[in-house]
Amino acid sequence: MAEKGKAAVFSGPGKPFEIQELPLPEVAPDGILVKNTAAVICGSDLHVWRNDSGRPWDRDPVIMGHEFTGVVAKLGRNVTADSLRRPLREGDRVAFPFFFPCHNCYWCVRGEHHSCPYRSRPNFQGVVKYPFADGGYSEYFYLQPGAYKFKVPDELPDNSIPPVNCALAQVLFGLEKVRVHFGDTVVIQGAGGLGIYATAVARDMGASQVIVIDGQLNRLELATRCGATSTVDMSAYKTPEERVARVKELTGGIGADVVVEVVGVAAATLEGLDMVRINGKYLDIGNISGGRLDMPANKVISGQIQWTGVAHYNPWIIESALQFLARTKDTYPLSNVVSDTFPLEKINEAFEFAEWQGKSSGSRAQRVVLNP
Ligand SMILES: [Zn+2]
Ligand SMILES: [Zn+2]
């Protein structure tokens, strides 16, 4: 095996990624070296690349990329199975959470791995600190001892796997957490990758109506093929008031049981809260870069809204995501969520392309993928 692997190193917003050859880690008896096969450019990677938070970059260079998958390149000598005790061999495809809970804190001992405050994002520790194979935009990734890993079912096509550990797992966990009931009406704000997955998952959970809102027709068309019962085109319904009125109209004047925000713009939350029925639920996922909201303090109280924020997920979600994709692969064209692929060497071009796609009304990209 090669002693070194290529990685795209990021040194801060406004600077191009640089391809570097970095030494591979020594594989511990309980560790696994993964050869990355596909890594997504996620909305949150674009937030960092553009510096949406506005904070100065005062960190060591990092290997970005958290939404990715690969095959087992080298098993530590004690590893013979995945986290569900199924045999695991070199060459097998694996899916895994991109963050590692500490297993040793107030939250972890309660099984709340998603909220462990000490959970690490190894890809963000910087390439000055060993091991270097610690991100998706890299040929190799090191699954440290104790990491969860799940063998990918043979029937899944390669291009449906990369978004499993971020986009799909995130909406699945969120919808599980707020509990969509059989017969519910669900509104999805945003038809990017997360919105498309949320649409299919909500339908699969038994929602009788799934209303998807977006400004791009091609995305709304994909949403319809993935289970949306109605769509709201933002170029036809131009203002928040018009869109809220449209949702009310589609729900018999009541509003939705569950509204899901996967836009990543603070104003969407303000708008979405007005679409929730009295005593309904609002699931906030996209607004991770911290835009500000200005609203009456009693808005949530008067509407008796259960407002839930989620970030990350529990490990079993990866397995249920894989099972969901396998079970629905002939029902929903979810592998279309991955739309364009680039080699790792073209990472700068790929980011520019993903950025342009996000803004262009004629675009078709849901998620741009790098093949390391
Ligand atoms: Zn992501
Ligand atoms: Zn912990």
Q: Which ligand is nearest to the CA of 119?
A: 2
- Rounded to 10°, the helix 217-225/193-204 angle is 30
Q: Distance between CA 268 and CA 235 in Å, rounded?
A: 15
CB contact set of 130 (below 8 Å; sequence gap of 6+): 25
What's the CA-to-centroid distance between 112 and ligand 2, angstroms? 8
Q: Is the dihedral of CA 282, 114, 90, 340 positive or negative?
A: positive
Q: Which ligand is nearest to the CA of 117?
A: 2
185-219 as b/e, with b when 16 or more CB fall inside 10 Å?
Answer: bbbbbbbbbbbbbbbbbbbbbebebbbbbbbbebb
Residue 127 one-letter amino acid:
V
Alpha carbon of residue 152 to chain centroid = 18
What's the CA-to-centroid distance between 118 and ligand 2, angstroms? 5
Q: Which ligand is nearest to the CA of 311?
A: 1
What's the CA-to-centroid distance between 167 and ligand 1, angstroms? 6
Q: Which ligand is nearest to the CA of 165?
A: 1
299-321 as b/e, with b when 16 or more CB fall inside 10 Å?
Answer: eeeebebebbebebbbbbbbbbb
Query: Within 13 A of 113's CA, how many CA atoms are on the CB side?
Result: 16
314 in Cβ contact with 108 (< 8 Å): no
H or E element: which one contains 148? none
**pLDDT tens for the 372 residues of the chain, in order:** 558 999 999 999 999 999 999 988 889 999 999 999 999 998 889 989 999 888 888 888 899 999 999 999 999 999 999 999 999 999 999 999 999 998 999 999 999 999 999 887 655 667 776 667 788 999 999 998 989 999 999 999 888 899 999 999 999 999 999 999 999 999 999 999 999 999 999 999 999 999 999 999 999 999 999 999 999 999 999 999 999 999 999 999 999 999 999 998 999 999 999 999 999 999 999 988 778 899 999 999 999 999 999 999 999 999 999 999 999 999 999 987 877 899 999 999 999 999 887 776 555 557 899 999
What's the CA-to-centroid distance between 355 and ligand 2, angstroms? 35
The Cα-based distances of 118 to 68, 100, 112 in angstroms read: 22, 9, 12
Residue 28 corresponds to which tokens in the numbers above?
A: 């511990």
Which SS3 state, helix, strand or coil, does residue 214 take?
strand
Model pTM score: 0.93
Q: Which ligand is nearest to the CA of 100?
A: 2
